[in-house]
Structure 1
């Protein structure tokens, strides 16, 4: 027997899923949708969001779906459904949960490969940071630091839900996160500068302190703009700035192509390219290597505290080469051992080492 979830946004339910259909042009992490996703996940089910083919989804909602193993499904006007992530045709929305083999190009919906709007270069930075609770903790530092590098200004607004109304305030963010413990906290921040930027922040209490996972997506330049030539340099500067906050565990910066408004579309896009990798002091220690010797071997630099340095390794460029370089750098490493020693959740670990740079299931 399938139990229903009593929620005004639940349009259909199944044994392991709950579906909501949204008819707006912009899908965002509203209070109602956040509540539905949270209750669905708490019931051990997966949220399915159905929309029209021309809708766009904000980064915070996309990450909330990813964190709960949810899916975005497109209902076309006259040609059925498809998975917004892979483009695969679906007979019914819940078919997205059925195990499938390799992607069959003949099953990709034509709407998925239609021409997109103007593409912009984006910098995507993900950093996991640990804070010792025996010292005063002020959260949001990585987001602050990366925003300063990318936009030359701190974020302007923050909150748990969209739209964001409160002015950026790290002290308020820290206090509200503290009140929620031992439960995790997820926050959103944006910049209203000339360069759009959106960041998400997850705070968790662990046996080793507070862990803060920050993901920032920033608009950098048009493909032919002069600023595009320095994307790899911007990536390294962003990770170097992040390395000065707390105890960095691991970080990755990628170059991607996306829309000017930073929202996701249900169309095909190139996989992001790794630009730089940050391995913090705990990672260097876990590997049993000397930071200076390892940087000389892999072509990186030491960053952070001279007493407990991390390693910043340049990878590829937006034109390619980053995944091969990343494989070469981490090939000698026992990745699963490194994840365990760093205390990274599997979904967070996949964000750093899986092609595509996403924690999607």
Structure 2
């Protein structure tokens, strides 16, 4: 399996420091570059890649090392990942020596601490030549399999690239971990998307899906559910080993739309208007729910850039018309993560946002802030829809490979455009107990539907009834039925 070693240093690894680290393999190894110079590969004499070293990342967001590695590291610091191939036994020691030398020269330390050394590692063992980067452990016609073991499996730059490569090749990505590994919130959202899968290797029970609990077997070049004689899948016993917890997560998922006439933010021939800034709605929601703006943003984890809606807007403009995916992080005293997808559609520029905030025993999610937040997003940020829910889950926003109850809905908000399409009379008379609250201009209101307090399981049924009622009022629904 591939082995990760990370150097955490207060000073930037410059060319000479990187050369000193890469010399850990002695004079018989050589260096090649990949990913347009963003990755250096330390290769054996026969050309086999042994260790890939990613470009150092300057992390300026507090708490990221603690969140992902359990290490307290004052910001700013440099994060340098080395990944060892599992095909050569010496490669893991070599990765530890590369990072250990960086820490010795620049200060700081490594994760894991026990991996660090400054030894010269003999890599003279003969192995089969391979001109690829050691990023996957098993590659079949249908699946790329990666074996990893780190405290939190996050949506790193490396994982994002592997996901992109597997999607382009038509393969599924399956990540295999021990049962103590947890997923970050963005990592979980990514592995929930078919055909990708989180595979947990339990020492007693074999393999199972970390998000569904289905028992898995290696068959036909991929991990797939082990079906019984009746064709049904079974659930691993380990998946049900849960214990009651008072910790909760608040989930706020919303979409905003900048109408097409304001789409100058994506025009390359004209400057963007000063008052059109992507991310303003995210900051508004963050302030309403935490009392402060986000701490940082980035395109992967660790989140490395200080919060700036203007810089976020610039990146989205540069990537247009392709979609932009971003991650937002909060301050360490209030666990909060968000991810944003910015797309250009016929309706305008859409931002799909999911915020997840963590609360411990004795901490109450700010449910009284939801209705005012919905009103602000409607009046100032072009809210299309918003769903707020609460679930029993860890305060640190990670997901363990055990059964979690479904989120319990708190409220749903429907923007003015869809209310107009459905018809105000129909939209304001759903078959549920709670009555909607009109938000925004009286001539073109949005509707906010209270559903529960986050602890009432009946709220999920209320949401299902509401959704069916609203779908029935959409133009063309009668013909489709």
Deviation at 1:166, TM superposition (A): 0.7
- Whether 1:227 aligns to 2:348 is no
1:13 corresponds to which of 125, 129, 139: 139
- 1:61 aligned counterpart, secondary structure: helix
2:466 corresponds to which of 329, 342, 356: 329
In the alignment of these two chains, the number of paired residues is 331
The one-character-per-residue Cα deviations of 1:62-109 (angstroms, maximum 9, x if unpaired) are: 2223346411110112321001111111122833378999965xx221
2:339 corresponds to which of 183, 192, 200: 200
- Whether 1:289 aligns to 2:428 is no
Q: 8 Å contact 2:257–2:381 — kept in the other structure? A: yes
- Residue 247 of structure 2 corresponds to 120
Q: Residues 245, 74 of structure 1: CA spacing in aligned structure 2 closer, same or farther, 3 A cutoff?
A: farther
Alignment of 1:222-261 (within 5 A): 222=361, 225=362, 227=364, 231=367, 233-261=368-396
Alignment of 1:95-114 (within 5 A): 95-96=223-224, 107-114=234-241
1:145 corresponds to which of 263, 274, 284: 284
Deviation at 1:7, TM superposition (A): 4.6
- 1:332 aligned counterpart, secondary structure: helix
1:74 corresponds to which of 179, 200, 204: 200
Tell me whether 295-304 or 148-157 shows the greater mean CA deviation. Answer: 295-304
User: What is the TM-score with the length of structure 1 in the denominator?
Assistant: 0.82
The one-character-per-residue Cα deviations of 1:260-300 (angstroms, maximum 9, x if unpaired) are: 21011111111110110010011101202249954899501
Q: Residues 339, 117 of structure 1: CA spacing in aligned structure 2 closer, same or farther, 3 A cutoff?
A: farther
- Residue 310 of structure 2 corresponds to 171
Q: Residues 82, 338 of structure 1: CA spacing in aligned structure 2 closer, same or farther, 3 A cutoff?
A: farther
Q: 8 Å contact 1:159–1:188 — kept in the other structure? A: yes
- 1:127 aligned counterpart, secondary structure: strand
1:319 corresponds to which of 452, 455, 468: 455
What is the rounded CA distance, in whole Å, between the counterparts of 1:205 and 1:211 in structure 2? Answer: 6
Q: 8 Å contact 1:291–1:311 — kept in the other structure? A: no
2:407 corresponds to which of 251, 272, 284: 272
Deviation at 1:121, TM superposition (A): 1.6
Q: 8 Å contact 1:239–1:252 — kept in the other structure? A: no
- Residue 57 of structure 1 corresponds to 183
Deviation at 1:50, TM superposition (A): 1.1
Specify the structure having the higher radius of gyration (Cα).
2
What is the rounded CA distance, in whole Å, between the counterparts of 2:285 and 2:454 in structure 1? Answer: 19
User: What is the TM-score with the length of structure 2 in the denominator?
Assistant: 0.63
- Name segments (4+ residues, structure 1) moved above 4 Å: 4-7, 97-104, 116-119, 290-298, 335-340
- 1:91 aligned counterpart, secondary structure: strand
2:357 corresponds to which of 218, 238, 243: 218
The one-character-per-residue Cα deviations of 1:227-252 (angstroms, maximum 9, x if unpaired) are: 25x64x34434433433443221110
Deviation at 1:120, TM superposition (A): 1.2
Tell me whether 235-244 or 16-25 shows the greater mean CA deviation. Answer: 235-244
- Residue 309 of structure 1 corresponds to 445
1:36 corresponds to which of 138, 147, 162: 162
Q: 8 Å contact 1:196–1:218 — kept in the other structure? A: yes
Q: 8 Å contact 2:153–2:182 — kept in the other structure? A: yes
What is the rounded CA distance, in whole Å, between the counterparts of 2:340 and 2:473 in structure 1? Answer: 24
What is the rounded CA distance, in whole Å, between the counterparts of 1:304 and 1:69 in structure 2? Answer: 41
Q: 8 Å contact 1:119–1:260 — kept in the other structure? A: no
Structure with greater contact order relative to length (CA < 8 Å, sep ≥ 6)? 1
Q: Residues 331, 30 of structure 1: CA spacing in aligned structure 2 closer, same or farther, 3 A cutoff?
A: closer
The one-character-per-residue Cα deviations of 1:165-207 (angstroms, maximum 9, x if unpaired) are: 1100000001100100111100001111522110000001112
The unaligned stretches of length 5 or more in structure 2 are 1-129, 263-272
